[in-house]
Amino acid sequence: MAAERRVGVAVDFSASSKNARSDSALEATGSPFIPWSEFSDPVITKRYGVKPDPETLDIVSTAARQNQVEVLMKIYWGDPRDKLCEAIDQIPLSCIIVGNRGLGKLKRAIMGSVSNYVVNNASCPVTVVKHHD
């Protein structure tokens, strides 16, 4: 029997990324696993301070249904570089997919690149999806 494969997809709902959490226990460990079917519930999303966009909800719902996979959400607060690498080891993930905002070299040097950090520090394979206008 093959080992269970867990693929992580890092998603930043940009409107909610500006909100800071003050609950230190949740900040340290993240939310519990939330079944995808519950993630569109406004009570759940409000509880964790996220506001997923309808397009993302639709894409994930369609992909889960078509591929017959179980989708679970886990929300982390804090520096995404550290939290993504922690999640890889804590969950644990077989691989992770992260996006790239397409920053230029100067902005990337000043602000840092989450995807670059994860590629260089993750303990699993990382796929970076480049930003396209």
At 7-24, the pLDDT tens digits run 888 877 643 333 333 445
pTM (2 decimals)?
0.75
Q: How far apart are CA 36 and CA 75, in angstroms?
A: 12
pLDDT of residue 2: 55
Strand arrangement of the beta sheet that strand 126-130 belongs to: 7-9, 95-100, 126-130
- In a domain, residue 107? The reply is yes
> For residue 24, what are the domain limits?
7-130
Asked whether residue 1 is assigned to any structural domain, the reply reads no
Question: What CATH number does residue 78 fall under?
Answer: 3.40.50
User: What is the number of domains present in the chain?
Assistant: 1
Q: Is residue 2 part of a domain?
A: no
Cα–Cα dist 4/94, whole Å = 9
| 87 or 3, which is more confident | 87
Classify burial at 58, counting beta carbons within 10 Å of its beta carbon; exposed 0-12, middle 13-18, buried 19 or more. Answer: exposed
Q: Residue 26: enclosing H or E segment and its boundaries? A: helix 24-29
Cβ neighbour number for residue 76 with a 10 Å cutoff: 20
Mean pLDDT of the chain: 79
Reported as a single tens digit per residue, the pLDDT across 74-105 is: 888 888 899 999 999 999 999 998 887 666 66
